[in-house]
A and B are shown apart, each in its own frame.
Chain A
Amino acid sequence: MSIEIIIYSLIIGAVGGGCIAAGAARMFHAPEIQAMGAFRTLGELNACAGDPVAHFGFGLGFFFNAAASAVAAGAMSGDVFHRIIPNWSAGILLLRNKKVDETLYNPGKMFLTGAGVGAVVVTVLNTAASMIPEKLAMIAGNVLTPAANWLLNPVMPGIFWLAAMDAGKTTGLWGTILGGVSALVSGNAVPGIVLGILIGKSAEENGYKSSIVQILIAIVVIMFVAIAYFRGFFNQFGF
């Protein structure tokens, strides 16, 4: 453990944590402004419903998991930015003010808190992860990993799919087709259903002759062909 690792970790954690937490707060203002995070992060933040204990507990479970992964392979897991930093930042802010409008939805406060949380979390994971009891990491991993994986697939595809079909024939049809294609080529239906909803709704409002809809369809086709190619999908046909 060198001083170099500590200094670099503090910088990485502060810069990354601040930006990611602010990006997560912006999710509550999307699509008017561009946000970054993930639909599942948005869902999980909403699931904790402004309860600081839930935010801390959820983040803590994944922190144990990340620590185990960091010790074993040097990989801190995607949960540091997806879950731990957004949830702990939200939890800290909610301790003092229960109104989510003034805390979790506020990119300024989330940026400042996220920078602090990020600096601490990244530094601890890079230097002292081995001090986290193995047993806690094991329990957290065995309980949270399956639950999070189920949420990602198949629970979220199911919910999004039903939402698309409930939103009308056009949207349902596009959601179903693109969801299926997406499940085939990328392993998860959600991105396809989301794009299907977008195309379906736009087609309903503007018609297929409009340039918006045509551009959308063109982008989506190019995107799926690119994913399919890069992930070796076409090889599966065995030609």
Chain B
Amino acid sequence: MKNTFTEKLNKFLLKDETFILLIMGAAAAIFAGTFMYIKFGTGAFNDVSIVAMLKEGIDGGSYSAAAGFAAGFLIARILEGPLVGILDIGGSLMTGVGIGIPALLLSMNITLPFNNFLFALIAGALIGLVLGLIIIAIRKFVPKGVAVGGTSIMMGAGNSAGRYLGPLIIIAATQYNVYAGLGALIGSAIFYKLEKEITGGAIIGAMILGAIFL
């Protein structure tokens, strides 16, 4: 019984149009996260430096930094997403929907979406709906065949970029501290010998030796 449910869900989630539902859910969560940040001071889904731009506006300053920075990102990512097949959730949702749109709304004194949790969820979902419709529309509008050749190159590059992470973590650990560095290299050597991915070994090694000796 459970198996058939998961299979059905999987089939449903593999349809192109389901993307609209997924982006609605993600946008609702991220927008509500910003509501949490405004109300409780915790919960924003973004990095400190970008949240700080929104905070400047909330504290009585100007929202223009947050709105301008995030609006540019949002537009760029929404146009790029359907072309390459992968929407970058950092620029589009976390920064665009989580920081830019709230900054824009608050600068215009539209506070309704931030009155309570339910409004925030609904507002986020509606924003996601609009973005999802735009993205699917661009996909339908741009004729098929455009992305095929290019995307395989990008997938290849994306995959080989990931392989760099292990060595980069060891290098960063050695530059940070001698114990973290030693731990990273011991951990990665053990993992390599065991034919596991060295990224995990490097992180765990650095954390263990660092935690003991630092």
Contacts and interface: CB of A to CB of B under 8 A. Distances in A.
A80 interface: yes
B108 interface: no
A184 interface: no
A47 B180 CA distance: 21
A5 B36 contact: yes
A61 B82 contact: no
Contacts of A51: 196-197, 200
Interface size for chain B: under 10, 10 to 19, 20 to 34, or 35 or more residues?
35 or more
A205 B151 CA distance: 14
A30 B163 CA distance: 20
A75 B72 contact: no
A33 B142 contact: no
Contact of A29 (B8, B14, B90): B14
Q: Which of B135, B175, B196 has the most CB of A within 10 A?
A: B196
Nearest to A50: B197
Given A47-B199, A230-B72, A142 B9 contact: no
B207 A140 contact: yes
Contact of A200 (B150, B200, B206): B150
A13 B140 CA distance: 31
Contacts of B214: 135, 138-139
Contacts of A226: 72, 75-76
Contact of B200 (A58, A69, A229): A58
B106 to A, nearest CB: 17
Contact of B10 (A5, A33, A73, A106): A106
B32 interface: yes
Contacts of A78: 45-47, 90, 94
Interface of B: 6-16, 19, 21-26, 28-30, 32-33, 36-37, 40-48, 50-52, 68-69, 71-73, 75-76, 79-90, 93-94, 117, 121, 135-136, 139, 141-143, 145-151, 153-166, 168-169, 171-173, 175-177, 180, 184, 191, 196-197, 199-201, 203-204, 206-207, 210-211, 214
A-B pairs with lowest CB-CB distance, top 7: A16-B29, A108-B10, A31-B85, A43-B162, A230-B72, A54-B200, A47-B162
Given A60-B207, A191-B80, 20 more contacts: A16-B28, A33-B19, A36-B88, A38-B88, A39-B88, A42-B155, A42-B158, A43-B159, A46-B159, A54-B199, A76-B33, A78-B94, A109-B10, A136-B210, A144-B172, A146-B176, A147-B169, A147-B171, A151-B161, A216-B146
28 contacts: A9-B43, A15-B28, A15-B121, A30-B84, A30-B151, A30-B155, A31-B85, A32-B85, A34-B139, A36-B89, A39-B161, A46-B163, A51-B197, A54-B199, A57-B201, A81-B89, A122-B33, A126-B36, A129-B42, A139-B180, A147-B171, A150-B171, A211-B143, A212-B146, A223-B75, A224-B76, A231-B69, A232-B68
